[in-house]
Structure 1
């Protein structure tokens, strides 16, 4: 088991690099614009009220939603991402929902029903529909947010689609700012996972990367960084991506050495836990908030 280490390797080369060549390789053989599939209940609209959020009435139902999340969705549309509904909501309800959220009309792909009355665990109608669209459009990257995306489904899809980002929000909370930041970074330019891990290994060292990801074997970050190496679990991947976003934020604002020290130091915003350990505990949103407070200079308040 990897434990927290106060003594980490000395400063290494800068982690912030240009990713154009990586993205060119990723896009090779792909032709379509990025795609985002969105569910409604438990995703765009969480089941619990949103503190400081909005509440609309659609089809006689109270619909809570986060304006900050919808702002990012609109920004993605403006940037050329094709956002689609992939939901059990009746199609004739969706225009009213779009009007309430301030969204333009979004396409709804035709559902693809399977001939097999007993589909495999991971291959429900939504999965078949999404993969049919992907096969037709060949996007450079795509993302799918659905509260019912099981670990088995995500793991199986990623075997054939490394260009996919698959998120399963807590249905009571729905998509958060951290989620849509991750989606935006992925669809508009975040590096492939193996390159992302390589950058983290360079920045923090493999011991800390193993610790924050929750890996039980210290050599896994080295193997994850190999283009043809093993793939982290969905939970490990989420922690790695959160760590990379946080590293980028602080390193760009304060430099690599400060970012490294911030990751391993106890943090008052995180109840005197280090960001490395908070990421390991699954507290990505808390770490993101702590990083932004640090960059703003309000971390000690």
Structure 2
């Protein structure tokens, strides 16, 4: 049942419990920002340490893949970016958005959203509807390269607030408005724990992540239509995730492997343009 705007209190985040995340995470809450990824990039280039987090109560020009932008009402979402400085080889960095989406989905399932799953490469779904997006960007800084991990999670958006028809929010799915501070705390702790374990675990950790992610990925096992830059399309069944985090699509001419940077959209083969 849709949740109407008057029912949403949309409280501000509570700074005190967020401050308790230090020293592993240093959280900066901004009342408004164009893009938390842009602000986090500035912080990283200014010397911000790994674990710096930028949160915006109101993000006015959020960015997704391929420079898509959107805006949501103040305090209706969780929009944040985390500065990481991975020590793993550069070839392992494409796993970061998959690890992030997988962790967000696990947190949501733990909170009772049983339909939470990941859509390759960077979306979190509740059933067939998008509830969160992930954007990971590599930036060069005086202290070396950094990864800016951005998350946008729809918390109390109503049907009228949704940026696209196939989106949803936690409130729309549950009928109640979750406590954003408690949810943000859990997400940040879980993301840091998953990231640290992945970094420390070496190849075995990546192998485990690959298996765990594939099992939770709603894309794997479906007939898909992959839109390619330049207007081309790839049709086939998504049959797995390769060791580099790329999607394996099996079609009439055999297997094709595509990375996140190689595609515009990945949709179910029978889906409309908004899915």
Check whether TM > 0.5.
Answer: no
Q: Which has the higher helix share?
A: 1
Q: Which has the higher strand share?
A: 2
TM-score (norm 1): 0.25
Between structure 1 and structure 2, the one with the greater Rg is 1
TM-score (norm 2): 0.26
* Structure with greater contact order relative to length (CA < 8 Å, sep ≥ 6): 1
